[in-house]
């Protein structure tokens, strides 16, 4: 019997299943649910425009109710804190606390990625592979009609000025740290 070579989407699905399996094991050891880990991980990677409950729900593809209940639990455990927006009191910003960061680092399966990297051939071009997966992700997001989310500094609204970094969409200055994080306002070139 001849088996067809898997396409990039099937490979992504298989890789995601392997990674999630390891994350579930590590989360169980730390008395975390996978959704807790996913929220903590997202908060560690998002910028100031994307640290709201609505952005978390959009990024993870979960209901706002699920996110709201999970945030209450994470706040009770001292892993996050909620802060009202200075300009719009209806908006809550979620901040990952040091204890949350510590727990996240314990739960991440970094050793799995390190071990897999060591097993790659010496001549493997990691950047070439990233392009395929980036394009596949963008295609999946479009097919799903979901927000694109992306790294701020690769957005068409990002601009480097003599004073630092600037977002043409929000008309605000950006820190270098924010420019390197995930933004829900991302727009591809």
Would you state the pLDDT for residue 156? Answer: 92
Percent of the chain with pLDDT over 70: 97
Residue ranges of the domains in the chain? 8-115, 146-189
Residue 9, Ramachandran bin (φ over 0: left; ψ between -120 and 50: alpha; else beta): alpha
Residue 42, Ramachandran bin (φ over 0: left; ψ between -120 and 50: alpha; else beta): alpha
Residue 162: CB atoms within 10 A of its CB come to: 4
Partners of residue 81 on adjacent β-strands: 95
Mean pLDDT over the full length of the chain: 89
**More confident site: 31 or 132:** 31
Spacing of C-alpha 129 from chain mean position: 19
Q: Which CATH number fits domain 8-115: 1.10.10.10, 3.40.718.10, 3.40.640.10, 1.10.3720.10?
A: 1.10.10.10
Range from 50-64, 109-123, 173-187 carrying the lowest mean pLDDT: 109-123
> With 80 as the cut, is the pLDDT of residue 23 above it?
yes
**Which pLDDT tens digit goes with each residue over 77-104?**
999 999 999 988 899 999 999 999 999 9
Percent of the chain with pLDDT over 90: 61
Would you state the pLDDT for residue 79? Answer: 98
List alpha helices for 61-160, DSSP H.
Answer: 64-76, 98-107, 110-119, 126-143
**More confident site: 142 or 165:** 165
pTM for this one? Answer: 0.84
**Which pLDDT tens digit goes with each residue over 7-22?**
888 888 998 999 999 9
Range from 38-47, 63-72, 126-135 carrying the lowest mean pLDDT: 126-135
- 147 φ, ψ (degrees, to nearest 5): -60, 150
> With 70 as the cut, is the pLDDT of residue 2 above it?
no
């Amino acid at each position: 019997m001849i088996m067809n070579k898997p396409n990039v989407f099937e490979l992504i699905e298989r890789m995601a299943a392997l990674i999630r399996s390891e994350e579930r094991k590590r989360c169980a050891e730390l008395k975390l649910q996978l959704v807790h880990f996913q929220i903590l991980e997202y908060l560690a990677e998002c910028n100031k425009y994307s640290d709201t409950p609505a952005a978390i729900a959009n990024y993870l593809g979960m209901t706002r109710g699920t996110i709201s209940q999970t945030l209450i639990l994470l706040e009770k455990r001292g892993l996050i804190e909620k802060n009202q927006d200075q300009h719009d009191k209806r908006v809550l910003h979620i901040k990952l606390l040091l204890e949350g960061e510590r727990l996240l680092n314990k739960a991440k399966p970094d050793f799995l990625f390190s071990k897999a990297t060591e097993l790659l051939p010496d001549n493997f071009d990691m950047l070439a592979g990233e392009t395929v997966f980036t394009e596949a992700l963008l295609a999946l997001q479009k097919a799903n009609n979901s927000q694109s989310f992306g790294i701020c500094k690769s957005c068409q609204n990002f601009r480097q000025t003599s004073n630092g970094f600037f977002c043409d969409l929000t008309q605000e200055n950006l820190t270098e740290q924010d420019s390197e994080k995930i933004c829900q306002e991302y727009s591809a070139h």
